[in-house]
């Protein structure tokens, strides 16, 4: 059983296959995406093959952690009881500097402050002893 932080009440993501590798770096507070060693293309979500050249070769390359808000949703009605104390919260879709899009919860930023194109940066929430979750907050 996962040793979840007593302060963290939300469900944890499944960490299997390539997702486990992604979260292993998150645990170290490093945001990394797969980068094809054949053509240099970045990709996210984690998957075995490059969509640009078909290569199965890649490295986990470090992201700048910076991007801009492409879109977002603010949740006010919890769909699961675990989220009762979390609402309202925002989930942002971010265009990362590397060219991939990433979804994560917003942290330390009021939902009213969100704007399309707003610069954000990744931060990590230590949710349990074995996992930290990427979040985004307004840059600067």
Residues in the site for Zn ion, rule: CB under 5 A? 36, 38-39, 41, 50, 52-53, 55
How far apart are CB 73 and Zn ion at their closest, in Å?
Answer: 32
Choose among 56, 40, 136: nearest CA to 96.
136
Cα 108 to Cα 1: distance, rounded to the nearest angstrom: 29
How far apart are CB 94 and Zn ion at their closest, in Å?
Answer: 22
How far apart are CB 57 and Zn ion at their closest, in Å?
Answer: 8
Tokens of 26: 């998150």
Q: β-strands 131-138, 101-106: how paired?
A: parallel
Query: Which residue lies nearer to Zn ion by CB, 59 or 64?
Result: 59
Query: Which residue lies nearer to Zn ion by CB, 17 or 38?
Result: 38
CA-CA-CA-CA torsion for 119, 122, 127, 132, nearest 10 degrees? Answer: 160
Query: Which residue lies nearer to Zn ion by CB, 54 or 88?
Result: 54
Query: Which residue lies nearer to Zn ion by CB, 44 or 135?
Result: 44
């Amino acid at each position: 059983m996962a040793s979840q932080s007593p302060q963290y009440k939300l469900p944890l993501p499944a960490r299997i296959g390539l997702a486990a590798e992604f979260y292993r770096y998150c645990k170290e507070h490093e945001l990394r995406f797969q980068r094809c060693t054949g053509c240099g293309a970045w990709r996210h979500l984690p998957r075995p093959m490059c969509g640009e050249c078909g290569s199965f070769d890649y490295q986990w390359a470090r992201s700048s952690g910076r991007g801009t808000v492409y879109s977002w949703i603010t949740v006010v009605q919890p769909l699961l009881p675990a989220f009762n104390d979390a609402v309202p919260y925002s989930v942002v879709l971010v265009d990362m500097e590397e060219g991939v899009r990433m979804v994560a919860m917003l942290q330390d930023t009021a939902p009213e402050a969100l704007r399309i194109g707003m610069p954000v940066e990744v931060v990590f929430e230590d949710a349990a002893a074995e996992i930290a979750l990427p979040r985004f907050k307004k840059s600067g």
